[in-house]
Amino acid sequence: MKIQILIPVYNDFQSLSKLLDDINSTISNSDKNFSVIIINDASTDKEEITISDKDKISSIKIINMKTNNGHARGIAAGLKYIFENEVFDYVIPMDGDGEDRPEEILKFIELLKHEPNKPIVGERIKRSEGIIFKISYIIHKLITFIFTGHSIKFGNFTCLPKSTVEKMINEKATWSSFSGSLTKLEKNRSTIPSIRGSRYFGPSKMSFYNLIKHSLSIIAVFKTNVIIRSILFFLIYLFLIYENLSYITMIPLLAVLALVISVLAISKRENISELNDSLSNIKNIDEIKLN
């Protein structure tokens, strides 16, 4: 069994170095073949990866991109590169900062024994962020469920069979939202419980603005559902308050209208042509010598 671990990174090579050591330690007793593909998303810091232990990782390639396209698009380009250029059975995308815990890779591998043909997602059961982020995340999940009908409790940390990778790189939504695209394409998924780890070094790079954009990108994958449910909300709400129309009672309508406009705007990020052309953004490919 050949497994490719896909890691996007931007100016966080210290964390990446520790992650690679931890991955190597985690898989030390596994009989599976593991390789690592790193998407260097046009980092401005000098690339410096130091690895203490590397005996269990078969190969490590660094795909250096010309321009920064962001986390989701880095993963999309990585999936396309792996599908077109590597021999593999599964791909495990994961963050490079320690928030996706390497020890949970073994949970993916164990579940593959029983359900080898399904994508497996790491469903968050516990998070390590502060209270404000946790509240924001709960609101995001609630809004997503109300307006799309989907409860999405996972991020990039998944285990994808080759058939799913092929679907993902042929779906325009993958260019904008990994978890939204996977939810759209694969209704029959397996799950493992996943605890969000703490960053190895430095503060989180997820700003509040990026969190909102990330949330809207997921919702936008199901924009048809959003429009239908918003129209139903407008009709029912107006029927209930038509005798009490005021600036105050109009606030929920304006909020939903703002959501629909934002979703339609951000859905323009979905672009199959850019996904198909994503490998033209590769500047060069380095391979770390492991022997």
**Tens digit of pLDDT for each residue in 38-67?**
999 999 988 778 777 667 899 999 999 999
pLDDT at residue 5, as a whole number: 98
Number of structural domains found in the chain: 2
65 strand-pairing partners: 282
| CB contact at 8 A, 158 and 120 | yes
User: Which of 219-233, 238-252, 263-277 has the weakest average pLDDT?
Assistant: 238-252
Q: At what angle do helices 223-241 and 208-220 cross, to 10 degrees?
A: 100
Is 112 found in the same domain as 47?
yes
* AA letter at 155: G
Instruction: Please check whether residue 192 lies inside any domain of the structure.
Output: yes
Same domain, 85 and 196: yes
Same domain, residue pair 179 and 250: no
Residue 130 lies in a domain: no
- Which helix (H) or strand (E) is 139 found in, with range? helix 131-148
- Spatial distance between the Cα atoms of 103 and 119, rounded to a whole number of angstroms: 18
Residue 73 lies inside a defined structural domain of this protein: yes
Same domain for 239 and 104: no
- Given a cut of 60, is residue 247 above it in pLDDT? yes
Q: What is the CATH number of the domain that holds 43?
A: 3.90.550.10
Same domain? 170 vs 256: no
Provide the mean pLDDT of the chain.
91
* Tokens describing residue 222: 């199901």
Residue 59 β-bridge partners = 35
In this structure, is residue 144 part of a structural domain? Answer: no
Provide the 10 A C-beta neighbour count for residue 134: 13
Same domain, 161 and 242: no
Domain extent at residue 59? 2-124+154-204+271-288
Q: Are residues 160 and 244 in the same domain?
A: no
**pLDDT greater than 90 at residue 2:** yes
User: Same domain, yes or no, for 77 and 57?
Assistant: yes
Quickly tell me which residue has 């396209």 as its tokens. 69
259 and 158, same domain (yes or no): no
Percentage, residues of the chain above pLDDT 70 = 95
Whether 163 is in a domain gets the answer: yes
> How many H helices and E strands in the chain?
10, 8
With respect to residue 117, please indicate whether it lies within any of the assigned structural domains: yes
7 and 116 belong to one structural domain: yes
**Pairing mode, if any, of strands 57-65 and 33-40?**
parallel
Task: Clarify whether residues 74 and 189 are in a common domain.
Answer: yes
| Inside any domain, residue 52 | yes
* Whether residue 30 is found in the same domain as residue 84: yes
Does 150 score more than 70 pLDDT?
A: yes
Is 246 within the bounds of a domain? yes
